[in-house]
Amino acid sequence: MVDVGDDAPDFTAPLANGDVEEFTLSENLDEGPIVLAFFPGAFTGVCTTEMATFEEQLDEFHEADATVYGVSVDAPFSLNEFRDQEDLSFGLISDSNKEIIDDYDVEMDFADMGYYGVAKRSVFVVDEDGRIADKWVTDDPGVEPDYEAVREAAAEAAEAAD
């Protein structure tokens, strides 16, 4: 289990940012604290609300010197369509091989719906040294993170790096 103070598991995965590019966490740590917002699936109610809320508050995250990325097991092309439909300006990381959710120990199943291996709604703040500065994980996909607490954790991680 990944916990606060641990090294963040590194990964390379497709990044949906209007195009599809390769994203490696360790190569982007200079973007300030990185907020990895894991969500179960694009085009679903609470996930759409969560990503829209991050978008609405993106300026505040930038003021905290943080960079936000969404992470889900959806294909990068689906994530680009989701970004377009929801007017998201931040990148979405495709974990279609489910390695990231496994490494971060945030994999869950919706067995009653026959859907297996999706991300638990969770948020990790990774500091510029590649360590987990903060984490929030829920087993209830209907619960959203405390966005203010995430921003504060990111701001604290940025201040600690200065």
Mean pLDDT of all residues in 98-120 = 89
> For residues 78 and 42, is the Cβ–Cβ distance under 8 A?
yes
**Active site annotation includes 47:** yes
Structural domains of the chain sorted by starting position, each given as residue range(s) with its CATH number in brackets: 12-161 (3.40.30.10)
Tens of pLDDT along 37-78? 999 999 888 999 999 999 999 999 999 999 999 999 999 999
- What distance in Å separates the CA atoms of residue 80 and residue 78, rounded to the nearest whole number? 5
Catalytic residue (one of 8, 16, 42, 47):
47
Helices (H), 67-146: 76-86, 99-103
Residue 106 DSSP SS3: coil
- The CA distance from 146 to 24, in Å, is 26
Of residues 68, 34, 64, the one with CA closest to residue 51: 68
Instruction: Express each pLDDT in 111-157 by its tens digit.
Output: 777 778 999 999 999 999 999 999 999 999 899 999 999 999 999 99
- The pLDDT assigned to 161 comes to 75
State residue 111's pLDDT score. 74
Strands 107-110 and 92-94: unpaired
**Interval 24-28 mean pLDDT:** 97
**What's residue 78's pLDDT?**
96
Q: Find out whether 104 and 122 touch, Cβ atoms under 8 Å.
A: yes
pLDDT of residue 45: 85
- For the beta carbon of residue 161, count every other beta carbon within 10 angstroms: 14
